[in-house]
Amino acid sequence: MKDNVGIILIIAIIIIIIVTKGSIFKHNGLHPLVTENTSSSGENIYSSGSNYDQAPLDYKDRVWISSISDRETFDERVYIDTNLDTNEIVNITGWKLRSTVTGNEFVIGGAAIIPHVGVRDQTPIIISRGARIIISDYTSPINTSFRLNKCTGFFSEGRNFEPALHNKCPAIIDDTTSNVPNLTDECLDYIDTLPRCEVPKERDFWETLGASCKNYLLRNVNYESCVTAHKNDSDFFETEWRIYPAQPKILWRDRHEKIQLIDRYGRVVDTVEYNQ
């Protein structure tokens, strides 16, 4: 009797495998495994070696081309805005912009989550609700695409960004009084006059400033020190990304153009057309 039960069970399993084509034992490809790391600030970070991939959802009306500016110049920019669901994240690396008129394409690559000047750090671009992506046709002033943070305003000094970077750096006096309480009142008075997101110039120092004050300013008022002090703040990251090509190239016609935003599955997410 036990042998008959075993034979019946084996036959039933074989029938199930044939009917389902084995899919009952496979992971559902619509919801691939996400390998997620979380920084101390709560920011989701995905390494380039992650097996993360977005589910094939329809992003129409949730990711769109909001505008195209300066079409007649070499400072052309495409703005992409989003209205994703709360807690929803999307990997847009591999998405592309394509002209249906000329066939020209721009493929969105990686970007630096915390950029450093001259370092071409390229990790997947993972966006969430409210993200804005600005794609330019000229090369990056700091040699990489990047996500904005509360310290990136320091990059503006001596470099041209279009549109201009936000000057939202923390006030230097706030970091100084909490971390270096032994500076003189005169030094603190001078620091209180410094504009945000600017490295102080030694030629502008007050003549009466002491050596310790000058040394502190030269060593600590800059982008790297700002990142070190604030990278774990809950509001450190902004929702804006700046994306640049490896080489500058005019991609779009200034008139009679039709541009599609296409996801990594080849589906058209949005289309913008202009004739004038």
Question: In order of start, what are the domains of the chain with their CATH numbers?
Answer: 40-150+240-274 (2.60.40.1260), 172-230 (no CATH)
Q: What are phi and psi of 179, to 5 degrees?
A: -110, -25
Query: pLDDT tier at 75 (50, 70, 90 boundaries)?
Result: confident
CA angle 55, 60, 63 (to 5 degrees): 85
Could you list the beta-strand ranges (E) of 18-62. Answer: 37-38, 44-45
CA 219 to chain centre: 28
Give residue 40's Cα distance to chain centre: 18
What is the pLDDT, as a whole number, of residue 41? 38
10 pLDDT more than 80:
no
What pLDDT score does 53 carry?
47
CA 161 and chain centroid, separation: 16
Query: In this predicted model, what pLDDT tens digit does every residue of 136-173 receive, in sequence order?
Result: 988 999 999 999 999 999 999 999 999 999 988 998 88
Would the pLDDT of 27 be above 60? no
pLDDT in tens, 234-257: 999 999 999 999 888 888 888 899
Please check whether residue 65 is in contact with residue 79, taking contact to mean a CB–CB distance below 8 angstroms: yes
Bridge partners (DSSP) listed for residue 65: 80
Coil, strand or helix at 188: helix
- Whether pTM exceeds 0.85: no
Residue 36 pLDDT: 35
